[in-house]
Amino acid sequence: MEMILTPEFNDLFPGENDTLEELLKDIPSLLVVQFLAMANAELYYHRSNEGPAQYKIFDLLLRRQQPETRKAIIENVNKKINRNPDAKTHFFSVIYNLEFLHYELVNYRELPDEEINQDQDLRLFKAYFLIVEKVNESIRNTLRETPVYDADYFAKTTWPSFIDQFEINSEIYPFPIMLRGAVLLNYLKYHSPYAVYVDNYLKKHGKATALNYVLDIYNLLILGYKKFKNKSPDQWASCSFAPSDGFETIFEQFDLNIKDYQAAFSAGKSNYTGIRSKPLLKLEDGSHLVLSWPFLISKMYDGLVFDFYQYSGINEDTKFRTFLDFKKHIGGEVTEKYLFQKLLGACFKNKHQVLKFDDLDIKGHPDAYYRQGNNVMLIEIKDAYFPAPAIGSYSYEAITEAIDLKFNSSKKGTGQIIKQLQYLSQQPFENPPAYKNTKNLTIYPVLVYSDLVFGMPGINDYLDRAFKKQLAASGLRRHFKTIMPITMINITFLIQKFDAFDHKQYSLMELISQFHAHANSKRKKADLTREINDHIDSQPTFEDFALKKIPLREDGENYLTSCIKTFNLTKGLP
């Protein structure tokens, strides 16, 4: 996370009063949508170093302009940069691309598909930065007064403006998402009474197994990546697929219908739900335009959950009258009981340890209890979406309310850990206990989440401060040697690195201890300097910290084999 400066319309064209309607009136929406898809692809594939993509997009729009026009724009950009010398400058960003894309889909202009001229190039450029200004104005409206400098200062100054960008700009790892999709379909096929719906869904797409389905989508991503790696520097990143045998039904399911989009989302983007659910657009030549690569990646799991409910026939089952009924079932039975338990079994394989799951014999038992020596980890998992209305609210209060609902109440998250500590202070979760006294125990409370928005910088700290208040009120610290701070961990990270935790230097408890020491040091520095960049650095996420500590895997084949074995994905294979 870092401060990014993007010039707005008034920075680049001071004194001008154009409107989007006037600027775009004779430019076909299809050409704008294609431009935005190209820009999204460039930014996605150059995400580790956006400089080349920024230049290429800038040059595309302005290459035909007169030298004096380009010079005037650059001079105005430099004025903006000089006023903010410590900020990194980007012209184009995915959040603005998506906002522009939403605008074009809602206000779609069906005009003759002709190449746009020099004047239209400039007007498209201007329209883009009017969109930037619109988005940034919404952000500015969230913070008309500077908050008091206290423990909530970081969250109040960043969350309202940052939350809708966090997921969109976060690194997406396709393989763990693909794996979750395969586990979901395999569980429903072989471990539930809903196998017929899996058969229906796979038959609809002409796929023999769950792995065939998710691997086909995964291979589309690999195809795009290979095209990017093999292209010359002046070529654009891949943003479309040609018609392909065996993929027709998948493309059809993922293709966005503009009239349907307008009917559903004219009143608001709803966190870009319409584009997330349909990340492709079919063109007249039969090819399919990729509106967003990350949204296409999500179709292997989050999007799959929606699609399966809608197209498999399971929505006709009386148990699943609403999508939320189905999502709750998937969260509880598939993610929390099946995937999570198999995953932790692979994370903790040491013989001299105890790993227990909630079998309902003990009321209030943690989802997972793990002990190694005198170190105990109490783990709760929540497979829940961060509510879209809160993401689009630009409201600190709405965001904290959503966090509290899922992770900070007497019945969920921090409150559950407190009750588990109360139980453990009086009696063991093991029978018989292999430790002598609770006062010898170091406790590691862990909250595992599945929606990466819950990993937004500052949420871990917010929940830990709430947890510490409850600890102070309960007097529980005196019963244990140490109670570590709360740690939020994304289940995707555990899937990525479960085979690394056997090594002592990369054990989960060791990484957690190092992470909190690191975060505490960063927060002390921020309190001293009160510099915005230090505040940003003071809120690291566990995943970012741990991924830098754990070395890259040398043998991908062994990891793949471990995944297939761990999650029992051999069922159904020929």
Structural domain contains residue 194: yes
Range(s) of the domain holding residue 44: 4-141
* Residue position matching structure tokens 């302009």: 65
Task: Tell me if 163 is assigned to some domain.
Answer: no
CA–chain centroid gap for 237, Å, is 22
Q: Which residue, 328, 443, 301, is CA-closest to 383?
A: 328
d(C-alpha 73, C-alpha 1), whole Å: 28
What pLDDT, on the 0 to 100 scale, is given for residue 1?
Answer: 54
Same domain, 296 and 370: no
40 & 121 share domain: yes
CATH code where residue 371 lies:
3.40.91
Query: Can you read off the two tokens belonging to residue 231?
Result: 């292209």
Contacts 24+ apart (CB under 8 A), 388-395: 388/270, 388/271, 388/273, 390/163, 391/163, 391/164, 391/167, 391/271, 391/453, 392/164, 392/268, 392/269, 392/270, 392/271, 393/160, 394/138, 394/139, 394/141, 394/142, 394/160, 394/161, 395/142, 395/160
Predicted confidence band at 123 (pLDDT cuts at 50, 70, 90)? very high
191 and 244 in a common domain: yes
Within 10 angstroms of residue 546's Cβ, the number of other Cβ atoms is 21
Band (161; pLDDT cuts 50, 70, 90): confident
Rounded Cα gap, residues 564 and 148, in angstroms: 51
**pLDDT at res. 143:** 64
Asked which of 141, 164, 186 is the last residue of a domain, the reply is 141
Question: Does 574 have pLDDT greater than 70?
Answer: no
Average pLDDT, the chain: 92
Place 144 in a pLDDT band, splitting at 50, 70 and 90. Answer: low
370-385 per-position pLDDT tens digit: 999 999 999 999 999 9
**Residues of the chain above pLDDT 90, percent:** 72
**CA triplet 91, 93, 97: central angle to 5 degrees?**
110
Q: Tell me whether residue 147 is in a domain.
A: no
Domain boundary among 87, 118, 141: 141
Indicate whether 83 belongs to any domain.
yes
Is the pLDDT at 555 greater than 70, yes or no?
no
Find out whether 220 and 178 touch, Cβ atoms under 8 Å.
no
Question: Are 273 and 346 found together in one domain?
Answer: no
Q: Are residues 118 and 180 in the same domain?
A: no
3-state secondary structure 388-441: HHHHCCCCHHHHHHHHHHHHECCCCEHHHHHHHHHHHHHCCCCCCCCCCCHHHC
Q: Is 571 within a domain?
A: no
Residue 536: predicted pLDDT:
79
Total structural domains within the chain? 3
Tell whether 307 and 346 lie within a shared domain: no
- Comparing 200 with 50, which gets the higher pLDDT? 200
Answer whether the bond into residue 432 is a cis peptide, omega within 30°.
yes
478 and 401 inside one domain: yes
**In terms of domains, do 469 and 561 share one?**
yes
pLDDT surpassing 60 at residue 63: yes
- 372 within domain boundaries: yes
CA distance 455 to 438: 31
φ and ψ at residue 320, rounded to 5 degrees = -125, 60
Mean pLDDT of 483-512: 94
* CB contact burial 141-152 (16+ within 10 A = b; e otherwise): ebeeeeeeeeeb
Q: How many helices (H) and strands (E) does the chain have?
A: 27, 11
What pTM did the predictor assign?
0.92
Question: In this predicted model, what pLDDT tens digit does every residue of 296-335 receive, in sequence order?
Answer: 999 999 999 999 999 999 999 999 999 999 999 999 999 9
535/470 same-domain check: yes
pLDDT in tens, 438-494: 999 999 999 999 999 999 999 999 999 999 999 999 999 999 999 999 999 999 999
Report how far residue 396's alpha carbon sits from residue 131's, in angstroms, rounded to the nearest whole number: 23
Which helix (H) or strand (E) covers residue 9, if one does?
helix 9-12
- Does the structure show a pLDDT above 90 at 277? yes
Q: Which two tokens stand for residue 70?
A: 């380009």
Q: Does 376 lie in the same domain as 302?
A: no
Helix (H) or strand (E) holding 169: helix 153-169
Mark whether 347 and 292 lie in a shared domain: no
**Each residue's pLDDT tens digit, 75-89:** 999 988 888 776 778
Q: Which of 56, 88, 61 is nearest to 73 (CA)?
A: 61
Please give the single-letter amino acid code of residue 22.
E
Do 543 and 424 belong together in one domain?
yes
